[in-house]
């Protein structure tokens, strides 16, 4: 149906995506539709998406795109296409289709909610707030008022969030109780964090705490005011940075009055290395992770790496709930592919990272970039590299705000009574502090 001999898009931008599909580059074609497509003809967008979906084996999306390409003004076809795009991780393509449905059916709350879902997954929380506000006289408390309060938090409008949350009655349907409780904790954390942090559009540490309960140990010193706002894009980690992160963890625990009795080791190599180093830095015994162990620091190098290891998914599931006195520390957390659980303490946020003992990138003999060999020395030897390193923060381009230990400990002191509460639900948004991301 979407063969090269059949109907083709006419719009130049979409023809370029079509040519990428001709070359077999489905990811490239979909990336090409990432920006600047909201004003393009929806039937032609559907042609490209349908062909890509057929190649990828996404039959639901292919069928929805086929229907939309044939009937671009049909409300059912538009809605089904938007829904399928959201389900297949393409919410940006759902937005124009759902907007078009709403333009012709302005009272359709089911479409409003689906459009809000697309906005949320794109991190476009301010637009979700504006949309929901227009329907406040018609919507119901669960989910609509809850969604308005939630998106207000994620857009950085705490006054609106507090007001809307205060209007929420207890949900009659028990499925909403966990969401209600998480939102309440978010607002409680915001009240605590505001005493030590500005909670403005560049306050990465403050907002990471509000939206996820994570205390962020360090800020990237690179390109802070050029789009990164404290997050790393690509990072080659070092033993010194690992040690600096563990010392920040120690300072956090002390300031928050948390006194663990052990370090729990996760089974993947990276986490075991960092966990053994943490045990030395904290002066605590190390023992294999056991679900339900109390008063322990569970150390992960990268929770996505834990999830990918043998038995990792089960371990991550067990970390969703919280044992009393348990602290989950993640050294390098991916903000563009957030882990399934949110750590209580994170050293740094990255898009891509290479651990010090993995094959580091280097200049090859031909002048190009190559991957070096991994460090396969015994874990104990690699641990010595960390504990014997110089714990110096990375030098940057002097655009990031000063972030001495005192700033972190003052923040930890301010939030100590709201830290380590509730479950560790994963984050599906970066919240009010945006950062540039790279393909």
Give the pLDDT confidence score for residue 3 in this predicted structure: 44
SS (H, E, C) the chain: CCCCCCCCCCCHHHHHHHHHHHCCCHHHHHHHCCCCCCCCCHHHHHHHHHHHHHHHCCHHHHHHHHHHHHCCCCHHHHHHHHHHHHHCCCHHHHHHHHHHHHHHCCCCHHHHHHHHHHHHHCCCHHHHHHHHHHCCCCCCHHHHHHHHHHHHHHCCCHHHHHHHHHCCCCCCCHHHHHHHHHHHHHHHHHHHHCCCCCCCCCCHHHHHHHHHCCEECCCCCCCHHHCCCCCCCEEECCHHHHHHHHHHHHHHHHHHCCCCCEEEECCCHHHHHHHHHHHHHHCCCEEECCCCCCCEEEEECCHHHHHHCCCHHHHHHHHHCCCCCCEEEEEEEECCCCCCECCCEEEEEECEEECCCCCCEEECCCCCEEECCCCCCCHHHHHHHHHCCCCCCCCCCCCCCCCCHHHHHHHHHHHCCCCCCCCCECCCCCCCCCCCCCC
* Sign, Cα dihedral of 172, 176, 178, 182: negative
In CATH, what class is 200-415? alpha beta
Extract the tokens encoding 382: 């690699």
- Please indicate, yes or no, whether the overall pTM of this predicted structure exceeds 0.85: yes
| Domain boundary assignment for the chain | 12-184, 200-415
Q: Which residues pair with 185 in a beta bridge?
A: none
Give the pLDDT confidence score for residue 2 in this predicted structure: 45
Give the pLDDT confidence score for residue 372 in this predicted structure: 87
| ∠ Cα 408 412 418 (to 5°) | 150
Q: How far apart are alpha carbons 387 and 26 in whole angstroms?
A: 45
Fold of the 12-184 domain: 1.25.40
pLDDT in tens, the chain (439 residues): 444 456 899 999 999 999 999 999 999 999 999 888 889 999 999 999 999 999 999 999 999 999 999 999 999 999 999 999 999 999 999 999 999 999 999 999 999 999 999 999 999 999 999 999 999 999 999 999 999 999 999 999 999 999 999 999 999 999 999 999 999 999 999 999 999 999 999 999 999 999 999 999 999 999 999 999 999 999 999 999 999 999 999 999 999 999 999 999 999 999 999 999 999 999 999 999 999 999 999 999 999 999 999 999 999 999 999 999 999 999 999 999 999 999 999 999 999 999 999 988 776 767 777 888 999 999 999 999 999 999 977 677 778 889 999 999 999 999 999 999 999 999 999 999 999 988 6
Give the pLDDT confidence score for residue 363 in this predicted structure: 67
Are the beta carbons of 13 and 45 closer than 8 angstroms? no
Asked if domains 12-184 and 200-415 share a fold, the reply is: no
């Amino acid at each position: 149906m979407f063969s090269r001999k059949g109907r083709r898009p006419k719009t130049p931008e979409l023809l370029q995506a079509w040519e990428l599909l001709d070359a077999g580059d489905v990811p490239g074609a979909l990336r090409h539709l990432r920006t600047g497509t909201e004003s393009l003809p929806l039937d032609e967008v559907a042609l490209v998406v349908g062909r890509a979906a057929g190649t990828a084996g996404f039959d639901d999306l292919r069928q929805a795109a086929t229907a939309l390409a044939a009937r671009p003004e049909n409300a059912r076809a538009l809605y089904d296409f938007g829904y399928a795009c959201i389900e297949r991780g393409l919410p940006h393509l759902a937005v124009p289709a759902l907007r078009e449905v709403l333009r012709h059916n302005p009272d359709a709350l089911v479409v409003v909610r689906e459009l809000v879902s697309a906005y949320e997954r794109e991190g476009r929380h301010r637009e979700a707030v504006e949309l929901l506000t227009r329907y406040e006289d018609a919507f119901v408390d669960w989910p609509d008022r809850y969604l308005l309060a939630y998106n207000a938090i994620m857009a950085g409008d705490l006054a609106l969030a507090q007001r809307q949350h205060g209007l929420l009655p207890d949900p009659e349907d028990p499925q909403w109780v966990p969401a209600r409780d998480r939102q309440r904790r978010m607002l409680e954390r915001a009240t605590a964090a505001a005493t030590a942090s500005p909670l403005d559009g560049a306050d990465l540490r403050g907002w990471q705490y509000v939206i996820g309960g994570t205390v962020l140990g360090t800020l990237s010193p690179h390109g802070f005011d050029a789009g990164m706002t404290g997050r790393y894009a690509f990072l080659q980690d070092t033993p010194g940075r690992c040690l600096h992160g563990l010392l920040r963890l120690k300072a956090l625990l002390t300031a928050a009055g948390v006194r663990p009795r052990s370090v729990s080791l996760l089974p993947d190599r990276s986490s075991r290395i960092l966990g053994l180093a943490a045990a030395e830095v904290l002066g605590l015994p190390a023992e294999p992770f056991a679900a339900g162990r109390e008063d322990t620091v569970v150390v992960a190098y990268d929770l996505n790496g834990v999830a990918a290891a043998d038995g990792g998914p089960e371990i991550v599931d067990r970390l969703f709930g919280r044992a009393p006195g348990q602290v989950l520390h993640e050294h390098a957390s991916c903000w563009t592919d957030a882990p399934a659980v949110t750590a209580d303490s994170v050293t740094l946020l990255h898009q891509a990272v290479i651990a010090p003992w993995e094959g580091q990138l280097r200049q090859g003999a031909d002048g190009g970039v190559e991957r070096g060999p991994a460090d396969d020395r015994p874990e104990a030897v690699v641990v010595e590299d960390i504990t014997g390193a110089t714990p110096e923060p990375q030098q940057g381009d002097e655009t990031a705000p000063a972030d001495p230990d005192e700033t972190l400990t003052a923040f930890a002191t301010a939030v100590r009574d709201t830290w380590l509460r509730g479950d560790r639900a994963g984050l599906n948004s970066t919240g009010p502090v945006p950062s540039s991301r790279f393909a």
